[in-house]
Amino acid sequence: MGMKKKYWQRRHLMELFMKTIMRISLVVVAASLGLILWTVVMRGLPAMNWDMVTQVPKGGFYMGKEGGVLNAIIGSLYLALGGTLLAMLFSLPIALYLKTYLGASKWGHYVRLSLDVLWGIPSIVYGAFGFTIMISIGMRASLLAGIIVLALVELPIMVRAMDEVIRRMPTDLEQAALALGSTKFEVAMQVVTRQMLPGIMTAILLAFGRGIGDAASVLFTAGYTDRIPTSLLRPTASLPLAVFFQLGSPFPEVQQRGYASALILTVIVLAVSLGSRWLSSRLNKYTVK
Contact residues for another protein (CB under 8 A)? 103-105, 170, 172-173, 175-183, 186, 190-191, 194-195, 285-289
Of 86 and 102, nearer to another protein (C-beta) is 102
- Cβ distance 236 to 219 under 8 Å? no
From CA 51, how far away is CA 57, in angstroms rounded? 9
From CA 264, how far away is CA 109, in angstroms rounded? 40
Of 1 and 179, nearer to another protein (C-beta) is 179
CB of 193 vs another protein, minimal distance in Å = 9
Of 28 and 104, nearer to another protein (C-beta) is 104
For the beta carbon of residue 9, count every other beta carbon within 10 angstroms: 10
CB of 168 vs another protein, minimal distance in Å = 14
From CA 159, how far away is CA 58, in angstroms rounded? 41
Of 43 and 99, nearer to another protein (C-beta) is 99
Q: How many angstroms separate the Cα of 144 from the Cα of each of 99, 159, 195, 237?
A: 31, 22, 33, 12
* Dihedral over alpha carbons 213, 214, 215, 220 (to 10 degrees): -140
CB of 109 vs another protein, minimal distance in Å = 13
Of 86 and 176, nearer to another protein (C-beta) is 176
Angle between helices 197-213 and 252-283 (to 10 degrees): 170
CB of 213 vs another protein, minimal distance in Å = 33
R_g of the chain, CA atoms, integer Å = 24
- Cβ distance 160 to 93 under 8 Å? no
CB of 198 vs another protein, minimal distance in Å = 11
CB of 163 vs another protein, minimal distance in Å = 18
Of 1 and 180, nearer to another protein (C-beta) is 180
Burial of 114 (0-12, 13-18, 19+ CB in 10 A): exposed
